[in-house]
Structure 1
C-alpha cells in the first residue's frame, strides 16, 4: 500500500519524528504539515488543540494518507483519543511510545519529563509510565519557552543555555537517570540539555519508538509500502514557509526543495 503517511506538528519540531520515520521506513512516502501560524500549542486549551488537530487531519486525509502520526506531544496528550474516535485511519501519538522508550532506558526507575505546559498538566506520560511499572518515580517540569526558542532558530544561543539552566536545575536534586524530551522540538536542543544534566542522564527522544511502532503497525495491517517503492515527500505549513524550509534542511537527511503554504482554517 504505497499511499503516504501523514505527519503533523505545531511547527518544525515534528521534523525530528519525520527524520526518524525516513530512517526506519525509507520506502514510505510522507506528507508533513507544520502549523507554523498557530505555534506554540502548549499554551492553548484542549478544545483549541482538538479543533486544530481535526483541521490538520482533514487536510492530510484530503491528500490520501493511509495513517497519521501526531508528531506533537501536546496534541498527542490532549487530542489523540478524540481523533481516534473520529477517523477510521490509524493514528499514532507520541506519549505511549515515549513512555516505553523511557522504561527501556532507565535503570533506577527515576524518570524526568520535560514538555509544554499542556503536556505536563495532562499527566499523560506519568500515567503511561505507571501502567508499565507502578514503582516508577516521575519528576516533571514544564519548559514553555523552549518551543519559541527552537522556532526562532536559537539552538545553541546563550539565551537558550540560560533557559535550560533555569528550567532544569531542580532536576539536580533528584537522582533521575533518564529524561524524556516530551516535546518534538526538544531534541533540537539536545546539546545544551545534555551539557547541563550530564552524561549520566540518558535523554529519551520518543521519535525512535514512534517510528518503530509505526513500522510494526503497518506490517501487522498489511499497509506497508512495497520494498521497491521510491518514497516521495511533501511539506506544507500554515505560515512562514521560508523559515521552515531553512530549518528542514538542517534537520532532515534529504534536501527540501519546496514548502507549500496552506490555509488550514478551510479544513
Structure 2
C-alpha cells in the first residue's frame, strides 16, 4: 500500500531555513519536517562527539515520520556525520558541502574561492577537500566566523551590530582577490546583503541551498520510480520543530519563508534518543 512521505531537514537552528525555502520552491508539493536545535546552537564551537550526538538525536526524532529523504542542512553537522548517517539510514541523505562546492566551481573565473563557516567546518577543511576534488588547481581561503550564527539566531541579521561584526570579521578576506565566496554555514545567507556589501560586487556569494535542493530533486525523482512509492500531491502541511523558544523561531521562519508556519517545541535531551 503506497503512502506519501516527507522530506526531513535538520539544522543546528534557523539557518537550515535557507535550504528549506529552496526545497519548497523547487519541490512545492513535498511535505517538509524541519528540526532546528536552537537550544544548543551554535554547533560550530562544539566537539565532534557533541555534534555527532546532537545530530543523531535529531535524526532519530525525524525517523519517527515516514520519510523520502533527509537533508542535513547544517554545514558543521555535514562535515562531521554525513557519511555515518548515510550508512545508518535506509534512505537518501544529502549534505550541503558538496553541492556548495560544485556551485562555486561553476562560478569562479579566477580560481580563488573563499569559504566562511563555523570553527569546526573550517578546521575540518571539508569544503577545501570538496572543492579540490572537483578542480585540483583552485586556491582556497578559509575563515571561521563564529560571531555570525548568534546574530542570526538572535534575530539581529539586519542590525547595526551585525554590520559592525561582519565588517570587522571579514576584513582579512577583503582585498585577497578572490572572486567567489562560499557561505559555508546555512545561517549566513540571512546575512548575505551585509556580507555582499563588505566584500564588494566583484565577489559572487554562493549559498549551497539551490544546488542542494537540485540534488534532492534528482533523488526524489529516482525514489518515485520505485514500486508502491507515489509522488506527493495536494498542498503539503509542513511541520517545524525547535528545541528553543518557539516565538523567536516562528518570527524568523515566517519572515524568511514569507508564509505562516506551524512550530512545535521539543526538548531534545528528553525527547530525542541518542
TM over 0.5: yes
**1:103 Cα deviation after fit:** 0.5
Structure 1: which 5+ residue stretches go unaligned?
A: none
Would you say 1:255 and 2:260 are equivalent positions? yes
The alignment status of 1:180 with 2:185, answered yes or no, reads no
SS of the residue aligned with 2:181?
Answer: strand
- Output the CA distance in 2 between the equivalents of 1:253 and 1:88: 33
Gaps of 5+ in 2: none
**Structure 2 match to 1:144:** 146
SS across alignment from 2:205: strand
Listed one character per residue, the Cα deviations across residues 129-163 of structure 1 (whole Å, up to 9, x for unaligned) are: 00101110000100001000111111121221111
How big is the alpha-carbon RMSD for the aligned residues of Structure 1 and Structure 2? 1.3
Count residues in correspondence: 266
1:264 equivalenced with 2:268 (yes/no)? yes
* TM-score, length-scaled by structure 2: 0.94
TM-score (ref. length: structure 1): 0.96
Deviation of 1:218 (Å) = 1.1
Does the 8 A contact of 1:19 with 1:253 survive in 2? no
Q: What SS does the aligned partner of 2:39 have?
A: coil
Displacement of 1:239 in angstroms is 1.6
Within a 5 Å distance, the mapping from 1:201-220 to structure 2 comes to 201-220=203-222
Aligned twin of 2:196: 194
Aligned equivalents of 1:158, 1:260: Cα separation in 2 = 31
Question: Which has the larger displacement, 135-144 or 230-239?
Answer: 230-239
Answer yes or no: is the 8 Å Cα contact 1:21–1:211 preserved in 2: yes
Contact 1:113 1:141 survives alignment (8 Å): yes
The one-character-per-residue Cα deviations of 1:234-264 (angstroms, maximum 9, x if unpaired) are: 01111211110111110113211x3111132
Distance 1:51 1:227, change over 3 A: closer
Counterpart for residue 234 of structure 2? 229
